[in-house]
Amino acid sequence: MNNEWLARLKEKIGKKENKEELPARKKLLLLFLTGLLLLVIVLPFPKKSDSEDAETGTETTTENRGSYERYLEQKTEEALQCVEGVGNVKVMITLKSSEENVVEKDQQSDGQSVEEEDSQGGKRTTKETSSDKTSIYEQKSDGTQVPYVSKKLSPEVEGVIVIADGGGNAVVVQNITGAIQALYGVEAHKIKVMKRNVAGTE
């Protein structure tokens, strides 16, 4: 039984090897499909994430947010160290959100009014208005088009912690709180001023 099956298999393989070459049309089709496949592999795909983020009007990254927080903390520390009685100071700032890019949009409005008169001589006016907003795009040096950012909004400060040598003095605490409010518009209950722990002292 097994010998008979092997004989049939050999016979089929022999027939396949002896088959004539593929017709010219099939060869051309195969060549075309191979070329098309190579073209798809070689061509780069456009990055859609950049344009999608810009389209929504916001472009945020954790790295940018962290660096902006550190920048504000450093500037605040430099300013507070100049205040009498503050001494050495450490500041921690948290933000409500990240930087926001405002995308410029072209707005087109269209309106029409229809005046109707009923059988009793009464008049009624109906007004219909429609508006359409589309993003304005600018072309980069590499030829890609991205939405035009008209302005960038800095993130708002959520809360501030200040640890200072003079944090135990009520007047110093009041001065620090007032300075933070003037700089960032933060409510007083979102500002915490504490005395710095100096090593070796009780």
Identify the structural domains of the chain with CATH numbers, from first to last. 2-42 (no CATH), 48-202 (3.30.300.30)
Report pLDDT digits (tens) over 8-48. Answer: 666 665 555 445 555 666 777 777 777 766 666 666 555 44
For residue 148, give the nearest of 166, 134, 169 by alpha carbon: 134
Distance CA(108)–CA(102), nearest Å, equals: 19
End-to-end CA distance of the chain: 99
Q: Does the pLDDT value for residue 162 go beyond 90?
A: yes
193 falls in which pLDDT band (50, 70, 90)?
A: very high
Beta strands in the chain (DSSP E): 89-95, 100-103, 105-117, 123-135, 137-139, 145-147, 149-153, 157-164, 191-195
Mean per-residue pLDDT over the chain, rounded: 75
202 falls in which pLDDT band (50, 70, 90)?
A: very low
pLDDT of 164:
93
